[in-house]
Amino acid sequence: MPDDFEVGMRVTQDFWNEHKDFVVAYAKRWGKPILVEMWSEQFFYFIQKYEWNFVDGNDKAAALTTDQIDTENAERFGITFTAEDGKKRHPLILHLSPSGAVERVIYALLEKAAAAMKAGKPPMLPVWLSPTQVRIVPVAEDDLEFARSLLPHFTGIRADLDDSSDSLGKKIRNAEKEWVPYIVVVGKKEAGGGTLNVRVRETKEQTEMTVDALRKRILSETKGRPFRPLAEPVHVSERPIFRG
């Protein structure tokens, strides 16, 4: 996690004097240097805030995760609680954005993909976020029946089937252009054996795996992550085609 972000923290002089140990402990837990900006007085409604900044290819930082300790708005908006002594008091308000705006998160993911390309690696989204996680590609039309029979094995995984009339090469290129992390090419050999030919985008390798092994691998990579089913028809031939 720290490899993807740089932490910036803003504090007032009074907050630093009273809670220096908190700032130091935060930096130690983060595991690498953080930038601390100190104000001689409180200019805004908060006395401390931190940001997790993603630094893009142009060395520009964009804040994603952020949290602020607000000491003013509770009184401004009449927010109170009853303390142990029975008196009404104004609470601190925490302004927390755990992930940042969706568009900033997507921007950071695409910037990471661009960095991967510069390093000679294939660009891709995390497997759990990929719109299609497995694309099944039959070698020929008479391999379609076996290809369709594989789909039920990928329950809980976004798997689709390229049943279009395109050539095998074009089907594979289309899947690669869509950044599909796992492309399964099936023909007579796979139909008659117990393994599948799998193209792994992250490593650029082709390997043979059983259906169960591939399913377990993907579920392991997406464990604990949100899941939604395919947003488009399972069969590629049934999807709309947009032409520029």
pLDDT band of residue 38 (cuts 50, 70, 90) is confident
pLDDT at 188: 92
Residue ending a domain, choose from 118, 147, 166:
118
Q: What does the pLDDT look like over 63-86, one tens digit per residue?
A: 888 888 898 899 899 999 999 999
Q: What does the pLDDT look like over 198-226, one tens digit per residue?
A: 999 999 999 999 999 999 999 999 999 99
143 plus 232 within the same structural domain: yes
pLDDT at 62: 84
CATH of the domain at 52: 3.30.930.10
Got the DSSP string for the chain?
Answer: -GGG-EEEEEEEHHHHHHHHHHHHHHHHHHTS--EEEEESS--SSEEEEEEEEEE-TTS-EEEEEEEEEESSHHHHTT--EE-TTS-EEPPPEEEEESS--HHHHHHHHHHHHHHHHHTTPPP---GGG-S-SEEEEESSGGGHHHHHHHGGGGTTS-EEE--SSS-HHHHHHHHHHTT-SEEEEE-HHHHHSS-EEEEETTTTEEEEE-HHHHHHHHHHHTTTS-----SS-SBGGGS-----
98 plus 140 within the same structural domain: no
Please report, rounded to a whole number, the percentage of residues in the chain having pLDDT higher than 90.
61
pLDDT at 130 over 90: yes
53 plus 141 within the same structural domain: no
pLDDT at 227: 95
pTM (predicted TM-score): 0.82
Q: What does the pLDDT look like over 144-195, one tens digit per residue?
A: 999 999 999 999 999 999 999 999 999 999 999 999 999 999 999 988 888 9
Q: How many domains does the chain have?
A: 2
In a domain, 209, yes or no: yes
Q: What does the pLDDT look like over 2-16, one tens digit per residue?
A: 578 899 999 899 989
In a domain, 243, yes or no: no
177 plus 229 within the same structural domain: yes
In a domain, 198, yes or no: yes
CATH of the domain at 159: 3.40.50.800
Domain that holds residue 220: 127-238
